[in-house]
Amino acid sequence: MEQPYSKLPPGPWRGVLKLDPRKELVQNTPRETPVQADLDFEEVTEGDLPFNFEISYLTPDSLHMHLRNREQVIEITDISFKHDRATNKDTVLIKFPESDAMLKALFEDNVMEGYYTSSPADLYPVSFVARHGQDHRFTLLKKEPISDFTGQWQMEFRKDDEEILGNMLLNQLGNDLRGSLQFGDVQYAHLEGTVQDDKIYLSAFDGKKFLLIEGKASSSSEIDGVMRNSTQHFITWHATK
């Protein structure tokens, strides 16, 4: 039976930005502050930033992508394809609105694999993979949370010898976690993730910027964690409720 679409299959997709694409990169990545030895995030692949999107067709040749972060929905229509003769695979180029950022990936067997760049001059492209038919964020696990992390959290980030203060607002329902974060003049309003036992995971990706938050609670009112918004460094943080 002929498929009613010409390229990417419609429906849910789960993408992952590989902020730690290789073990040797992790070892050589500059750390703004030392990471505590007990910050072990075994429920997920550490440094993987997940995001969700949907592919739909208005007509068999009219492809749309909807990038989702909580209630935020970003429509992308600048999507093009070409056939790579060297690999005999299709290449997809996804350009995000109001920016020079893009995803470029090879597509085969319901999998996209390639790179994300913030601009044509980006010196540090981020490895990227996406799989069709997956709609979870971080994990399918449902470990019982040790506490309800809902509420306002005061955060302390350390960058070199500088301390930056911030605020994180969390809303938890079972294992589901949503939040917003502000530090300095930077704000992320649509974080989405999960609580697993004593750990929290949050991510956001809107095409222009991305953020990954990983944290481990030492009590119901204290969390220590790592924040990543590039492949070149990550920052440790401490939060109190």
What pLDDT digit, counting tens, does each position of 187-211 carry? 999 999 999 999 999 999 999 999 9
Q: Where are the beta strands (DSSP E) in the chain?
A: 11-18, 48-59, 62-69, 72-76, 78-84, 89-95, 102-108, 111-117, 126-132, 151-159, 162-173, 176-183, 186-196, 199-205, 210-219, 222-228, 234-240
Q: State which amino acid sits at residue 18.
A: K
Is residue 167 pLDDT above 70, yes or no? Answer: yes
Which residue, among 172, 175, 155, has the nearest Cα to 164 in the 3D structure? 155
Q: Which is more confidently placed, 89 or 15?
A: 15
What is the structure's pLDDT at 84?
78
Looking at the structure, give the CATH architecture of the domain made up of residues 151-240. Beta Barrel (2.40)
Is residue 32 pLDDT above 50, yes or no? Answer: no
What is the structure's pLDDT at 34?
38
Question: Please, which pLDDT band fits residue 90 given cuts at 50, 70 and 90?
Answer: confident
What is the structure's pLDDT at 41?
58
Question: Please, which pLDDT band fits residue 162 given cuts at 50, 70 and 90?
Answer: confident
Question: Please, which pLDDT band fits residue 4 given cuts at 50, 70 and 90?
Answer: low
* Residue found under tokens 């009112």: 221
* List of residues 6+ apart from 106 with CB closer than 8 A: 84, 87, 89, 90, 91, 92, 112, 113, 114
What is the structure's pLDDT at 6?
63
What confidence tens digit (pLDDT) does each residue in 38-85 have? 555 566 788 899 999 999 998 877 899 999 998 999 999 999 998 878
How does the average pLDDT of the chain come out, rounded?
A: 87
**Longest CA pairwise span in the chain (Å):** 63
The stretch 125-143 carries a mean pLDDT of: 95
Question: Please, which pLDDT band fits residue 215 given cuts at 50, 70 and 90?
Answer: very high
What is the structure's pLDDT at 125?
92
Is residue 123 pLDDT above 90, yes or no? Answer: no
How many Cβ atoms sit within 10 Å of the Cβ of residue 20?
20
User: Domain limits of the chain?
Assistant: 11-132, 151-240
**Contact between residue 203 and residue 191 where contact means Cβ atoms under 8 Å apart:** yes
The stretch 138-165 carries a mean pLDDT of: 91
Is residue 27 pLDDT above 60, yes or no? Answer: no
Is residue 36 pLDDT above 50, yes or no? Answer: no
- Fold observed for domain 11-132: Lipocalin (2.40.128)
Rg (CA), the chain: 19
Helix (H) or strand (E) holding 28: helix 23-28
Q: What percent of the chain is modeled with pLDDT above 70?
A: 88
Q: What's the token pair of residue 54?
A: 């949907």
Query: Are 11-132 and 151-240 the same fold in CATH?
Result: yes
Is residue 29 pLDDT above 60, yes or no? Answer: no
**Contact between residue 127 and residue 17 where contact means Cβ atoms under 8 Å apart:** yes
* Distance separating alpha carbons of residues 117 and 187, to the nearest angstrom: 21
| Full DSSP string of 119-177 | STT-SSPEEEEEEET---SS-S--PPPSS---EEEEEEEEETTEEEEEEEEEEEETTEE
* List of residues 6+ apart from 135 with CB closer than 8 A: 12, 14, 52
The stretch 15-44 carries a mean pLDDT of: 55
